[in-house]
Amino acid sequence: MVVRTTEVPNPGPLLELLPEDHPMAWVRRGEGIVGWGQAARFDTIGANRFVAADRWWRRMVGTAVVRDEVRLPGTGPVAFGSFAFDDVPGSSSLVLPDTVVGHRSGRWWVTTIDVTGNLPGGAALPEVPPARRPLSVVYGDGSRSGTEWEGIVAEAVRRITAGELEKVVLARDLVAECPEPVDIRWPLQRLSAGYPHCWTFSVDGMIGATPELLVRRERGLITSRVLAGTIRRTGDDEHDLALAASLARSSKDLEEHEYAVRSVADALAPFCSSMNVPETPFVLHLPNVMHLATDLAGVSDSAGDGVTSLALAAALHPSAAVGGTPTPVALQVIREIEGLDRDRYAGPVGWMDARGDGEWGIALRSAEVSGARLRLFAGCGIVAGSDPAAELAESVAKLVPMRDALSS
């Protein structure tokens, strides 16, 4: 593999550079990386999926010839990845584009990749047509209706009250049908504009704008953002401030959040020489909902220095924020009562470079695109005090970003 990264003048907004065919993206507040083409890919399934993908990537970059003029995280060879939530079923993949464009801290670059041993050509970018808006989107129930899902939530509360577990995260899906294949770029551009503080992603047909950063590894610093505890916004600023205050005092939501933070801190501790875990969460305000949020940061120790960002993501997944507590019990409950094939929903999604640095989010506020059909996903953390009707309303609020992105 021969790789060339060159610095270029500002070519315009990243998401507007993408072609329609299999676009890849990881963008937040206008910065990040986008890619297209396929120089190589690795597909895997099962409990060993993270280890297998990590080994493949190390082999790929281990013999690569790299000319990198920029030398920032995300330059040189970069793989985009999307991984299944559970060991079975679900497929996972790492994709190495043949072209990547990046933007960070006022610098722009283009990376071109050739796996035949030839030095890639220059950094000329193709002309692409504007994104096409989806027409006549029709929505229908996914695996379960809203009423059926409320019953599943009630069963989870019963099990929690009986002492089987402390928390379980339950997901539901919604199906969207279009008369023609969806141009993925359209919802991506709307998600990025409407939710600039989220990470807008597109990897192998999985798209979304996640507010939750599972892990970032960058030159020895390891960070993670944990979200758990949610309340819907009303659009009235004064009322929303009161709701944010009630969220920050809610014993149910604080309990749910504490479980999630504890699971992430415990998973990262073996790789860090020191770690900062704030004692109290802050309220993250998004256009449709507000979340309790905690940002954790750690410094990698000698054990963590040789661990890639993907390996860290594997160590964290699934956290209590997307699985539950205790995690093994929660996962079994999900398999028994949820009635949904999550596939890659709530699994790690992101990118990794040749140094192992990278960013991996949790595939939330997302949809799986297959031609003219999409599956939209949302999930809610269920604890002893959960009310099924309220949880259904929360799931509806979490589906708003993807629905708006398809209709706006």
Q: Which residues carry out catalysis? A: 167, 212
| One-character DSSP codes across 62-105 | HT-EEEESS-STT-SSEEEEE--SSSSS--EEEEE-SEEEEEET
Phi, psi of 247 (to 5 degrees): -65, -40
**374 vs 178: CA distance, rounded Å:** 8
| DSSP H/E element including 373 | strand 373-382
What HEC string does 10-34 produce? CCCCHHHHCCCCCCEEEEECCEEEE
How far apart are the C-alpha atoms of 351 and 82, rounded to whole Å? 9
Q: Which DSSP state fits 37?
A: S
Residue whose C-alpha is closest to residue 218's, from 352, 79, 399: 352
Tokens at 396, concatenated: 């509806």
Q: Is 328 left (phi over 0), alpha (psi -120 to 50) or beta?
A: alpha
d(CA 109, CA 68): 10
Largest CA distance in the chain: 64
> What is the four-CA torsion angle of 355, 27, 225, 204, rounded to 10 degrees?
-80
Tally of CB atoms within 10 A around 111 = 28
